[in-house]
Amino acid sequence: MRPFMPRYALKVEYHGGPFAGWQRQTDQPSVQGAIELALSKLETRDHKIAAAGRTDAGVHGLGQVAHCDLEQDWDTFRLSEALNYHLKPNPVAIVDCARVSDDWHARFSATERRYLFRIVSRRAPVTHLNGLVWQVKQALDVDAMQDGANFLIGKHDFTTFRSTICQSPSPVRTLDELRVETAHGHYGPEVHFHVRARSFLHNQVRSFVGTLERVGSGSAPPEFVKTALEARDRAACGPVCPPHGLYLAAVGYPEDPFARTET
């Protein structure tokens, strides 16, 4: 039996551009690898952290959650400050830290994941948002995209909308929310997709957005989404959109480990 080691939950924000994804890689930079290296500066040994979700290369994190086990009893503020110091110059930040119980798990204790996808509609190349949004040149019909998105909400076989290399044993998932809305940004009209479920298949959100963009651009009617879903065939899916507009926005738990009690 391993000696008792205090467990800490970390809320992580990162720019996915420089990384080959969240998961540790032997020959490429990863978000997990950057955090584990920072932890080794605090306690000199190999570290292995677990996360709520494994984002792909280029995907960003606003509210990724991970946990780590440490030998010392760290003050949570000092731990987050020390990690942020050693994470430099990586575009990764520990935005919150909390002590959790020994059986709490960033992945298995989670009850929902929330993703945000951002599209900017404008013809001129984006500069300040380069790598942070998917740019399309034409205006998109948000109402039509929402009509198409409504066919996806609920429990379905999402074979059409998952990668051919997805390792999940089942394509069945329950999608709790897929909301499409207009956001008026400084750099052009934005369309935001808010997606919520307990768990997701590989490339599921990017497959949703790529298919719905065809509806929004007028290339297909909203019913195209229903037909694609019922086909249960990857070939029926629209183009998978690029990763850099996607953000892991938040992770839900039965009790928020980062909640502070006001006194």
Q: Which residues are catalytic?
A: 56
Which among 58, 248, 244 has a CA at the least distance from the CA of 135? 244
| Cβ-contact 57, 21 below 8 angstroms | yes
Q: At what angle do helices 204-216 and 223-231 cross, to 10 degrees?
A: 140
DSSP class per residue in the chain: -PPP--EEEEEEEE--TTSSBSS--SSS--HHHHHHHHHHHHSSS----EES--PBTT-EEEEEEEEEE-SS---HHHHHHHHHHHHTTSSEEEEEEEEE-TT--TTTT--EEEEEEEEEE-SSPPSTTTTTSEEESS---HHHHHHHHHTTSEEEE-GGGS-TT---S--EEEEEEEEEEEEEETTEEEEEEEEEES---TTHHHHHHHHHHHHHTTSS-THHHHHHHHHT-GGGS-PPPPGGGEEEEEEE-SS-TT-----
